[in-house]
Amino acid sequence: MFSQDPIEWPDEVEVLIDHLENESAERALSREERALMDVYETVPVLESEDCLHEFWQSAVDHQRIINSFDLIGATTLVDPLNASRWCGTRSQERGGYSETEADYLATIEEDVPTGLDELIDLVLDFIEEELG
């Protein structure tokens, strides 16, 4: 769907994610740590060709992930996630949408690249303020 390059996380984020993945086997992560993991793990879905449709068809706790994006301050992504909630009740194939539904979803998805562009700075600020 997008022509932009995938997010390349700074080393600081990658190291912290690796640490949290290892820690999660030994203890329950805090809400802030879980939010960071949720965001990190969801970005590839939002960068995919099926974007919001794929998100709603995935077997994740959708509300928790939306809350995670909200917790780190990524409201530019929270809005399209919430606006596309109806995709969760549709066909597993994106091609099954009516023309109106497909157009509406495409309109919602126009905001996703902007939200992804802001994400690295938001995540770094969140790490510094909440986990640092």
**What pTM was computed for the model?**
0.92
Q: Which residue type is seen at 85?
A: R
**DSSP run (H or E) holding 15:** helix 11-24
CA distances from 11 to 18, 19, 61, 74, 124 (A): 10, 12, 27, 20, 11
Question: Is the four-CA dihedral 16, 22, 23, 27 of positive or negative sign?
Answer: positive
What is the per-residue pLDDT for 90?
Answer: 84
Residue spans per domain, the chain: 11-131
d(CA 74, CA 113): 12
What is the per-residue pLDDT for 4?
Answer: 64
What is the per-residue pLDDT for 94?
Answer: 85
What is the per-residue pLDDT for 72?
Answer: 97
**DSSP run (H or E) holding 40:** helix 31-46
What is the per-residue pLDDT for 1?
Answer: 47
What is the per-residue pLDDT for 91?
Answer: 78
Per-residue pLDDT of the chain (132 residues; tens, 9 = 90+): 445 678 999 999 999 999 999 999 999 999 999 999 999 999 999 999 999 999 999 999 999 999 999 999 999 999 999 999 999 998 788 888 999 999 999 999 999 999 999 999 999 999 999 987
